[in-house]
């Protein structure tokens, strides 16, 4: 039978089960077991498949059971991702866009579900696509116990169910990034913005990890246990490790789990088997388990080293990329959770009436501690820490300690009675008179664990934004007839902000020790981050609905159509005029290029779009395009001979960074295999895409590598750092911040100019033969110039002459100087190279000053009647303006000037 029992001071009325006496130990069919537990096992097992359950006579006890889960479906936004097989709850808040799936529940919904969280609202942290495992394959799923063991084991889930004792524990999992949004508001970290709902509690059923390790017998000298999953990620599978003595300790409750709340694991939660490690950060609980490796050293997995660490606070995101030893320092690795607490009610933006409201308001929330510690107290302050009030705390986890010996739940023994360790969240509440709230600016809370470690007053900012646990503060706003409550932040895509974002926009200093409040001595600061003006990109007179067949019939060079924000544009009229060349539009034909277009086009370009707007996708076309679209080239067992693809992004791995000046580096990326060529024509460029703080950044670069080079790709990048004068380059700083082994994506080629050799050029699709190039560049604008110059000079039969005017500020800024000087020295009859500095030192003997009309007149002169010269230009906008006006005044025509 079941009954409803009110849990004193808990978040809501919680459903409990009164268990009937159980029969003696029996061997039952797997289908019988699943129906007994009240859920489908999810394993399509044969009729003769058996599992052993140990059940004894039991007196009735009370403890929480999970709420009823929903019947979900595959959501429309997942149809165009590799997760198109995964059913999900639409209430979950996506923190990293559509894919990969990183979500938390709305805080109120999570709290209202009570002590146990359904699979529907349980937080999810996925680094990539969810492995697809059919129900019929689950029992045969294999994983290993290997490494420094006497008896390596290869076993299936069937073996796990049949040969080992099953246990069921309530366990709270918490992402180490919980509450990271607060750190990101203070200063951007390298992680995405979790709100305060990056945690959940479930009943997990599985086998003690210690059982498997005892059977495999670790060898002398073994100190760690590593775990690896089946997910396929840019840097290999996800993997991590814990200490061996923890893994062997039954008091730590570590499980190899195959059920969650009595159901087979959901795909997002590790179907069919995963690690569940209580008391430690969620990042240690590897999903889709494939390997358990006993070792003498911590895991060398990329994600173990470059994720889930708290680096010293003085390490910036930029500096962290060049500190491999710091990342590998196990002192900075996170294992046990720290103590944390959150106010759930009042909710963000909740109003309480002062006219007909209650005299007392019940504040409620959650708290947790790590490593098996118990939250010993929860305190609240209404005067910013001068005085404190003690709150009530309830521990639903303790109800399970009252379960009779050998009692089973969902096929697993509930054996918490002997264990003092706490591995679940608890709930607190505190009644506060409205009269007191009217006189307060805010309410803040802090928790303390049983080792007397309390939450700190101030934030410890770190480069990954992990383990954020300062006092949780809710601001009180006095309105006409009510009080309004404001939380610190809201998760990434939820509108409404929070007091931290508001204070920052108003010019407050969130690090001043007063939670961003303006002090009297502080000077006024203009609000920042004002919303940009919206640019209309559609023709309001156009009402045409375009079908998927119409769009796909325009996916080639003839009349290329493309999609931005579900609106369709005809790029035919702009094929010749597009700055990136016809290839840019042709490469987008028939595709949804919203992300790419918005990331790289200027406001002027967006304002031009109504001219090319021809209609909107029909609803059916939207669904079909979403279900079939994938902008990342899928993995293939057949090696591709050419890396770059015009209509799909291809991944490459960052292998090396070489500093060539104080602000410039060469980034080397490895391709799919050593024989794979880059595939970039001379004079064209490629697009590079990476994600920074959950937002894609796309920029065009011309690599140093020759297009026919194989196995690796070198890109020269000038890094624009933040300075007191203003913000630096977002892409260049994000690229510089990437650790070695990280993946980025490339697409191409694009560009309107191509050098085909021996004077033959293609410009906007039209061929032209030249006898001379005038090359004008500055700074990192040398790269496309360098490509063309090298192609000319390497071919001894190429009689094309080149004049190179390379302008920079100081001598250190001259990039590729050794290579340029060597080419000029070896080809004096065909190459004239001039370096010019605007801020030279006294020792400089070359040209001085800025490039201007007088320099162009002296070194180049007017165009010849034969029009046998093209001027190639690459540099900042100021240089482009100087070239246009200077060469224009000398009689050069626009068609003779090519700007990269």
Q: Where are the beta strands (DSSP E) in 139-219?
A: 142-147, 153-156, 167-174, 199-208
pLDDT greater than 60 at residue 215 = yes
- pLDDT score, position 731: 86
555, 589 Cβ separation under 8 angstroms: yes
CATH topology of domain 753-899: Rossmann fold (3.40.50)
- Whether 560 has a pLDDT exceeding 90, the answer reads no
**Domain residues of the chain, as ranges?**
1-497, 545-628, 650-750, 753-899
Query: Quick one: pLDDT at residue 599?
Result: 62
Three-class SS state of 627: helix
The rounded distance, in Å, linking the Cα atoms of 523 and 834 is: 50
Pick the catalytic residue from 78, 89, 120, 175.
175
Has residue 523 got a pLDDT over 60? no
Cα diameter, the chain = 105
Is the Cβ–Cβ distance between 539 and 610 less than 8 Å? Answer: yes
pLDDT at 538: 85
Helix, strand, coil fractions of the chain, as percent rounded to 5: 20, 30, 50
- Helical packing angle, 817-826 and 782-794, nearest 10°: 30
pLDDT at 455: 97
Averaged pLDDT for residues 823-841:
92
HEC string of 853-888 equals HHHHHHHCCCCCCCCCEEEEEECCHHHHHHHHHHHH
Higher pLDDT: 638 or 244? It is 244
Mean pLDDT along residues 249-261:
96
The C-alpha atoms of residue 22 and residue 497 are separated, in whole angstroms, by 52
The listed range with the strongest mean pLDDT (280-289, 616-625, 736-745, 854-863) is 280-289
* CB-side neighbour CA atoms (13 Å) of 585: 24
How high is the pLDDT of residue 13? 34
pLDDT digits (tens, 9 = 90+) for 479-494: 989 999 999 999 876 5
Q: What is the pLDDT confidence band of residue 20, given thresholds at 50, 70 and 90?
A: very low
Residue 583, pLDDT > 80, answer no
CATH superfamily of 545-628: Cytochrome b5-like heme/steroid binding domain (3.10.120.10)
> Given CA atoms 847, 850, 856, 857 in this order, what sign does their dihedral have?
negative
What number is the average pLDDT over the span 399-404? 91
| Model confidence at 190: pLDDT above 50 | yes
The alpha carbons of the chain give a radius of gyration, in whole angstroms, of 32
Note the pLDDT of residue 507: 82
**Extended beta strands in 510-623, E state:** 545-546, 561-564, 567-570, 613-617
Length of the chain equals: 900
Q: How far is CA 531 from the centre of its chain?
A: 24
> Does 307 qualify as catalytic in the annotation?
yes
650-750: CATH class = mainly beta
d(CA 440, CA 164): 57
What's residue 793's pLDDT? 93
Q: What is the pLDDT of residues 313-365, one digit of tens each?
A: 999 887 887 888 999 999 999 999 999 999 999 999 999 999 888 899 999 99
Answer yes or no: 175 catalytic: yes
What is the band of 7 on the pLDDT scale with cuts at 50, 70, 90? very low
Q: Is the pLDDT of residue 547 over 70?
A: yes
Query: Average pLDDT of 614-639?
Result: 67
Q: What is the mean pLDDT of residues 799-826?
A: 92
Asked if residue 555 lies in contact with residue 590, where contact means CB atoms within 8 angstroms, the answer is yes
- Phi, psi of 69, deg, nearest 5: -85, 165
Among 402-411, 466-475, 628-637, 717-726, top mean pLDDT goes to 466-475
For the chain, percent of residues with pLDDT exceeding 90: 56
pLDDT tens, 369-380? 999 999 999 999
The whole-number pLDDT of residue 694 equals 63
The phi and psi torsions of 309 (rounded to 5 degrees) equal -135, 150
Check if 672 is active-site: no
Q: What is the pLDDT of residue 473?
A: 98
Question: Using CA atoms, how far apart are residues 553 and 546, in angstroms rounded to an integer?
Answer: 11
- Res 614: pLDDT: 86
Residue 202, pLDDT above cutoff 70: yes
> What per-residue confidence (pLDDT) applies to 521?
40
The CATH label, of 3.90.420.10, 3.40.50.300, 3.90.1150.10, 3.30.420.40, for the domain at 1-497 is 3.90.420.10
Catalytic annotation, pick one of 102, 126, 308, 827: 308
**Quick check: helix, strand or coil at residue 484?**
strand
Position 727 scores a pLDDT of 72
Please write the tens of the pLDDT for every residue from 35-74: 333 333 333 332 222 233 333 333 445 889 999 999 999 9
Residue 777 assigned as binding residue: no
- The string of pLDDT tens digits covering residues 682-713 is 999 998 988 776 677 888 899 999 989 999 99
pLDDT at 522: 40
Residue 514's pLDDT is 86
Q: Which residues contact 865 (CB under 8 A, 6 or more apart)?
A: none
Whether 503 and 517 have beta carbons less than 8 Å apart is answered as yes
pLDDT-derived band at 832 (thresholds 50, 70, 90) equals very high
**Span of 537-546, 587-596, 668-677 with lowest mean pLDDT:** 587-596
Report pLDDT for 351: 95
The residue from 83, 120, 268, 307 that is catalytic is: 307
* Average pLDDT across the chain, whole number: 85
Confidence tier at 264 by pLDDT (50, 70, 90): very high
Give yes or no for residue 495 having a pLDDT over 70: no
Q: Average pLDDT of 738-754?
A: 87
pLDDT tens-digit profile of 281-324? 999 999 999 999 999 999 999 999 999 999 999 998 878 878 88
Residue 734 has pLDDT above 90, yes or no: no
């Amino acid at each position: 039978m079941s009954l409803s029992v009110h849990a004193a001071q808990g978040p809501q009325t919680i459903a409990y089960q009164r268990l009937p006496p159980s029969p003696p130990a029996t061997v039952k069919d797997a289908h019988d077991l699943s129906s007994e537990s009240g859920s489908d096992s999810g394993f399509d097992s044969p009729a003769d498949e058996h599992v052993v359950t140990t059940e004894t006579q039991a007196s009735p006890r009370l403890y929480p059971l999970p709420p009823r889960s929903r019947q979900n479906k595959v959501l429309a936004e997942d149809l165009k991702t590799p997760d198109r097989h995964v059913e999900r709850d639409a209430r979950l808040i996506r923190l990293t866009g559509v894919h990969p799936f990183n979500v938390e529940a709305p805080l109120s919904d999570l709290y209202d579900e009570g002590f146990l969280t359904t699979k529907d609202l349980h937080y999810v942290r996925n680094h990539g696509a969810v492995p697809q495992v059919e129900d019929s394959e689950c029992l045969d799923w294999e994983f290993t116990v290997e490494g420094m063991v006497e008896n390596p084991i290869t076993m299936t889930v069937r073996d796990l169910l049949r040969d080992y004792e099953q246990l069921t524990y309530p366990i709270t999992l918490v992402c180490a990034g919980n509450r990271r949004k607060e750190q990101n508001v203070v200063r951007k970290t390298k992680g995405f913005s979790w709100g305060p709902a990056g945690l959940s509690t479930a009943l997990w059923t599985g086998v003690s990890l210690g059982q498997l390790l005892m059977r495999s017998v670790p060898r002398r000298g073994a100190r760690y246990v590593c775990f690896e999953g089946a997910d396929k990620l840019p840097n290999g599978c996800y993997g991590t490790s814990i200490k061996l003595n923890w893994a062997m300790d039954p008091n730590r409750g570590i499980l190899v789990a195959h059920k969650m709340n009595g159901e087979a694991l959901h795909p997002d939660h590790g179907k069919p088997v995963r690690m569940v490690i209580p008391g430690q950060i969620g990042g240690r609980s590897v999903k889709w388990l494939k390997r358990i490796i006993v070792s003498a050293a911590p895991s060398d997995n990329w994600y173990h080293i470059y994720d889930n660490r708290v680096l010293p606070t003085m390490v910036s995101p930029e500096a962290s990329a060049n500190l491999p030893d710091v990342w590998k320092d196990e002192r900075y690795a996170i294992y046990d959770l720290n103590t944390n607490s959150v106010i759930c009610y009042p909710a963000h933006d909740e109003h309480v009436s002062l006219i007909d409201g209650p005299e007392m308001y019940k504040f409620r929330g959650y708290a947790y501690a790590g490593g098996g510690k118990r939250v010993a107290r929860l305190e609240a302050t209404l005067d910013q820490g001068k005085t404190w009030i003690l709150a009530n705390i309830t521990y639903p986890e303790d109800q399970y300690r009252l379960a009779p010996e050998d009692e089973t739940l969902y096929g697993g023994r509930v054996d918490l009675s002997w264990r003092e360790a706490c591995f679940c969240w608890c709930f607190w509440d505190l009644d506060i008179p409205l009269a007191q709230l009217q006189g307060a600016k805010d309410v803040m809370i802090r928790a303390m664990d049983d080792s007397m470690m309390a939450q700190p007053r101030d934030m410890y900012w770190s480069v990954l934004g992990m383990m954020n646990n300062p006092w949780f503060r809710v601001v009180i706003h006095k309105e006409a007839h009510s009080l309004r409550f404001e939380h610190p932040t809201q998760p990434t895509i939820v509108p409404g902000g929070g007091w931290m974002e508001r204070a920052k926009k108003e010019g407050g200093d969130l690090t001043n020790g007063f939670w961003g409040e303006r002090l009297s001595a502080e000077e006024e600061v203009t609000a920042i981050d004002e919303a940009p003006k919206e640019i209309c990109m559609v023709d309001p007179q156009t009402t045409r609905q375009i079908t998927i067949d119409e769009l796909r019939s325009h996916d080639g060079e003839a009349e290329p159509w493309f999609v931005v924000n579900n609106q369709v544009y005809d790029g035919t009229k702009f094929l010749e005029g597009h700055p990136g060349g016809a290839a840019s539009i042709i490469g987008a034909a028939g595709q949804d290029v919203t992300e790419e277009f918005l990331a790289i086009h200027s406001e002027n370009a967006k304002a031009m779009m109504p001219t090319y707007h021809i209609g909107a996708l029909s609803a059916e076309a939207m669904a079909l395009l979403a279900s079939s679209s994938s902008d990342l080239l899928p993995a293939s067992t057949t090696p591709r001979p050419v890396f770059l693809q015009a209509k799909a992004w291809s991944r490459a791995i960052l292998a090396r960074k070489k500093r060539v000046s104080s602000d410039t580096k060469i980034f080397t990326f490895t391709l799919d295999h050593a024989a794979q060529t880059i595939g970039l024509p001379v004079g064209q460029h490629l697009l590079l895409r990476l994600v920074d703080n959950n937002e894609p950044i796309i920029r065009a670069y011309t690599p140093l590598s020759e297009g026919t080079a194989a196995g690796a790709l070198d890109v020269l990048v000038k890094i624009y750092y933040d300075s007191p004068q203003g913000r630096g380059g977002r892409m260049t700083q994000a690229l510089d911040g990437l650790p070695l082994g990280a993946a980025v994506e490339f697409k191409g080629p694009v560009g309107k100019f191509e050098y085909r050799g021996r004077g033959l050029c293609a410009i906007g699709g039209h061929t032209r033969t030249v006898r001379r190039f005038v090359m004008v560049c500055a700074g990192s604008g040398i790269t496309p110039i360098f490509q063309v110059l090298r192609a000319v000079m390497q071919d001894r039969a190429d009689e094309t002459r080149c004049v190179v005017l390379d302008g920079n500020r100081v001598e250190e800024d001259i990039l590729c100087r050794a290579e340029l000087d060597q080419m000029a020295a070896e080809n004096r009859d065909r190459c004239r190279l001039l370096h010019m500095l605007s801020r030279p030192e006294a020792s400089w003997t070359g040209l001085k000053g800025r490039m201007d009309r007088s320099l162009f007149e002296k070194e180049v002169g007017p165009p010849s009647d034969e029009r046998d010269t093209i001027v190639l230009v690459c540099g900042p906008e100021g240089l482009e303006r100087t070239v246009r006006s200077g060469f224009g005044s000398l009689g050069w025509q626009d068609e003779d000037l090519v700007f990269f």
